[in-house]
């Protein structure tokens, strides 16, 4: 009787175990099907501290606003895709239904890239294409390598940093292939103007601005364009040039002017700024508030951003501006109704003006130095809302576009200028997207620690397991 009960209980136990096993298998299959149905962005999580595999807010905003199809094509053999690039491209497709991601093996499609480029195509290059136009991005343009020469010379291996810059290139290409029009900037030459720093020029290129140099003395008028850029001129305009620029502005063109405290009085340029209600406060602006200047350099200003449309568009992006060697900008009182002013950058009320200062002279405040809040960046819109609406943007620190200075501001200087240009040309500019460090940090373990770990893992731990097993076996046999 007991034997029958035991067999019956064993049978029931076996059935229950089989049912549990079957339920577990069904649950596993269901979970796999559910996981396969989820979007890629829900199944691939970026756990890197630097967000290597994530998209920036700037990119996601662009993607969610897309209204036309964009195809991203990765040119790479199967199994040889760059892991970072592949993951990022998949993120683009997962973020917007208007983005299609596909891969093409160059061996199977040897002539595919010939439609987009004449250069030799390397593996892991990318093509961004819409119904309007296309852009080819070479693999070498997706990464940048920085080398600290001193560290590399001392170690032979350290000091090399690899940065992924692909997101900025791909997002810029998407803007390029979907844009209704490509804004054109005209850079004035012939007056000792400074060349555009490399970083600033790169920012303009990534924002898809076409930059054309012009020499007005050889032209009957300002050519067709959206904005005229005058970058730190040394000499004044001629009467004919000033008239041509005035006509350009009167037809709805805009002007971006960069000067600094060493800029001489230029009557015809001053007349242009005066027509927009602004004038220069000559002299070097020195900050009397330590919280608004770089330590020990009170003329390297850290001005506050304004709350208007231009400055407000970058203010919530951890914005920082660094403006060295600046003069002041003042708005005239009782501006005409046709002018709408905007404060872009402003010092504290403790700033003061050092007029006539020379290199090497003290910047300490003297009794006669005028004190107050000075604008370092300002803009004024004329005829707002009308067909001939124009904008004059003025920054009084031409050095703010220098690569080193913009680096101190973490790109804040160029971001603000691009935002101002975007307002002037009537479309939102693509602001710079941060680079991502994909270099691996090497873990260096001292030889002593290696020996200790080896003794513990190879000797002590196995011996302890064997000893514990022997004790358990001995106790069981005693029972």
Q: Give the residue extent of every domain in the chain.
A: 57-165, 184-425
β partners of residue 137 = 126
User: Which residues, listed in sequence order, are joined to residue 330 by a DSSP beta bridge?
Assistant: 279
- Residue 346 backbone dihedrals phi, psi, to 5 degrees: -145, 140
pLDDT score recorded for residue 443: 45
8 Å CB contact between 136 and 117: yes
Cα–Cα distance, 395 to 344 (Å, whole number): 9
Task: Look at residue 52 in the predicted model and tell me its pLDDT.
Answer: 62
The string of DSSP letters for 337-379 reads: TTEEEEEEEE--TT-EEETT--TTS--PPPTTS-BS--EEEEE
Instruction: Name the token pair of 464.
Output: 């302890």
Q: What is the pLDDT of residue 28?
A: 66
Specify the DSSP element, H or E, that contains 423.
Answer: helix 412-425
Report yes or no: 87 and 72 within 8 Å, Cβ to Cβ.
no
Fold of 57-165: Glutaredoxin (3.40.30)
pLDDT tens for each residue of the chain, 479 residues long? 555 555 555 555 556 666 676 776 677 666 666 655 555 554 555 445 455 667 988 899 999 999 999 999 999 999 999 999 999 999 999 999 999 999 999 999 988 999 999 888 899 999 999 999 999 999 999 998 877 777 767 777 777 888 898 999 999 999 999 988 889 999 999 999 999 999 999 999 999 999 999 999 999 999 999 999 999 999 999 999 999 999 999 999 999 999 999 999 999 999 999 999 999 999 999 999 999 999 999 999 999 999 999 998 887 667 899 999 999 999 999 999 999 999 999 999 999 999 988 877 899 999 999 999 999 999 999 999 999 999 999 999 999 999 999 999 989 999 999 999 999 998 887 777 766 666 544 444 455 666 787 788 787 888 878 787 777 877 777 76
Residue 138, Cβ density class (10 Å: 0-12 exposed, 13-18 middle, ≥19 buried): middle
Instruction: Tell how strand 134-137 and strand 328-331 pair up.
Output: unpaired
Place of tokens 């680079």: 435
Fold of 184-425: Rossmann fold (3.40.50)
Do 57-165 and 184-425 show the same overall fold? no
Tell how strand 278-281 and strand 328-331 pair up: antiparallel
> Left if phi > 0, otherwise alpha if psi is -120 to 50, otherwise beta: which for 194?
beta
State the pLDDT at residue 47: 41
3-state helix, strand, coil in the chain (%, to 5): 40, 20, 40
Cα–Cα distance, 140 to 93 (Å, whole number): 22
* Exposure letters 344-373 (e unless 16+ CB within 10 A, then b): bbbbbebbbbbeebeeeeeeebeeebeeee
d(CA 479, CA 472): 11
pLDDT recorded at residue 436: 61
């Amino acid at each position: 009787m007991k034997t029958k009960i035991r067999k019956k209980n064993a049978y029931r136990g076996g059935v229950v175990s089989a049912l549990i096993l079957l339920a577990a298998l069904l649950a596993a299959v269901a979970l796999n099907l559910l996981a396969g149905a989820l979007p890629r962005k829900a199944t691939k999580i970026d756990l890197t501290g630097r967000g290597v595999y994530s998209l920036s807010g700037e990119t996601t905003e662009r993607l969610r606003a897309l209204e036309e199809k964009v195809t991203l094509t990765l040119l790479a053999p199967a199994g040889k895709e760059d892991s970072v690039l592949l993951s990022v491209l998949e993120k683009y497709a997962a973020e917007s239904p208007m983005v299609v991601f596909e891969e093409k093996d160059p061996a199977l499609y040897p002539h595919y890239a010939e439609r987009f480029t004449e250069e030799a195509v390397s593996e892991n290059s990318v093509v961004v294409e819409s119904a309007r136009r296309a852009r080819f991005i070479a693999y070498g343009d997706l990464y940048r390598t920085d080398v600290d020469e001193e560290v590399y010379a001392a170690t032979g291996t350290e000091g090399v940093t690899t940065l992924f810059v692909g997101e900025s290139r791909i997002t810029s290409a998407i803007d390029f292939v979907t844009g209704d029009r490509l804004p054109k900037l005209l850079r004035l030459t012939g007056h000792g103007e400074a060349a555009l720093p490399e970083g600033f020029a790169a920012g303009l290129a990534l924002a898809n601005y076409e930059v054309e140099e012009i020499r007005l003395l050889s032209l009957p008028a300002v050519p067709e364009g959206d904005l005229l850029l005058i970058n730190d001129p040394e000499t004044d305009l001629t009467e004919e040039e000033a008239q041509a620029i005035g006509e350009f502005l009167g037809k709805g063109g805009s002007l971006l002017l960069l000067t600094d405290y060493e800029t001489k009085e230029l009557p015809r340029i001053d007349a242009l700024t005066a027509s927009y209600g602004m004038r220069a406060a000559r002299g070097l602006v020195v900050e009397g508030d330590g919280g608004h200047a770089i330590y020990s350099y009170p003329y390297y200003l850290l001005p506050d951003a304004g709350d208007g449309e231009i400055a407000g568009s970058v203010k919530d992006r951890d914005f920082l501006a660094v403006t060295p060697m600046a003069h002041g900008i003042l708005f005239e009182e009782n501006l005409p109704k046709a002018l709408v002013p905007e404060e872009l950058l402003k010092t504290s009320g403790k700033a003061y003006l050092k007029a006539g200062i020379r290199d090497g002279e003290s910047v300490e405040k003297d009794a006669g130095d005028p004190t107050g809040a000075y604008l370092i960046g300002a803009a004024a819109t004329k005829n707002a809302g009308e067909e001939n609406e124009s904008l004059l943007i003025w920054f009084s620190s031409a050095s703010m576009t220098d690569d080193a200075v913009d680096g101190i501001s973490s790109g804040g200087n160029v971001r603000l200028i691009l935002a101002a240009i975007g307002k002037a040309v009537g479309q939102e500019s693509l602001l710079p997207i941060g680079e991502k460090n994909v270099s691996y940090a090497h873990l260096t373990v001292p030889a002593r620690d290696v020996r200790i770990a080896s003794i513990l893992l190879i000797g002590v731990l196995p011996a302890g397991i064997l000893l514990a097993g022997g004790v358990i076996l001995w106790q069981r046999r005693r029972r």
